[in-house]
Amino acid sequence: ATSVAEIDFVVKAPDGKEVEEITKKEIHKALRGKVAAEQAKMDIKDVPKKPVLTKRTQYQQRTAPAQNYQRRNLQRTAPVKREEKSKLTKEQKEKFKQLLDDLVGTRGAYLLDEKLNILGKVPTTELESTIKSMSTGLFAVVFDGEITKEIVARAQRAKTKFVVGMESKIKASVPDVTILTSKDF
């Protein structure tokens, strides 16, 4: 007998753990972060396949070095300017703190423009797909949840300057995006 199941949502175990190893608390946390099946399907397509690196075992034997040296006149090119991280103003800090306080326990997210106007409010489960769909005009994301590398990657692509969450899995600095948590306020 063949049976068919319809998948509505996808839930993943925390990084570095198998489903069999997670605790009741982690199961509840994972279930709160469920993703619609269509979104999970899109996310899987977006992940580039990593090239397989092979070790090179053959070494070329060098012959005697060439004795004919010439001096080259290399033209220097201007260094590529990287976008500077945005500096947090007092007004921005107050607004982010107020919005973060409003969101506590809601599992929601605010999307802001450069003038700190709220462009929209979405559930955190739809945050990645919403950021992806917004190509321009997204200045900051403030949400009730943990900042992950996936959210930061989406924010970088959307040229978002600030990502504000309750806590962060990101330990290192990220180019072009300022990451803030509730501890920063």
26 Cβ contact partners less than 8 Å away, ≥ 6 residues apart: 13, 14, 17
Please write the tens of the pLDDT for every residue from 110-121.
999 999 999 999
* pLDDT (0 to 100) of residue 101: 93
Domains of the chain (ranges; CATH) run: 9-46 (no CATH), 90-184 (3.40.140)
| Single pTM value for the model | 0.55
CA distance 131 to 140: 10
Compare 65 and 148 and report the one with higher pLDDT: 148
Please write the tens of the pLDDT for every residue from 108-159.
999 999 999 999 999 999 999 998 888 778 999 999 999 999 999 999 999 9
Residue 176, both tokens? 């072009």
Q: Is residue 157 packed enough to be buried (19+ CB in 10 Å), middle (13-18) or exposed (0-12)?
A: exposed
Residue 21, both tokens? 């190893």
What share of the chain in percent tops pLDDT 90?
A: 39
* pLDDT (0 to 100) of residue 148: 93
**Which range has the top average pLDDT, 29-33, 38-42, 164-168?**
164-168
Per-residue confidence band for 70, with pLDDT thresholds at 50, 70 and 90: low
Residue 108, both tokens? 């929601």
* pLDDT (0 to 100) of residue 88: 86
| Average predicted confidence (pLDDT) for the chain | 80
CA distance 124 to 107: 6
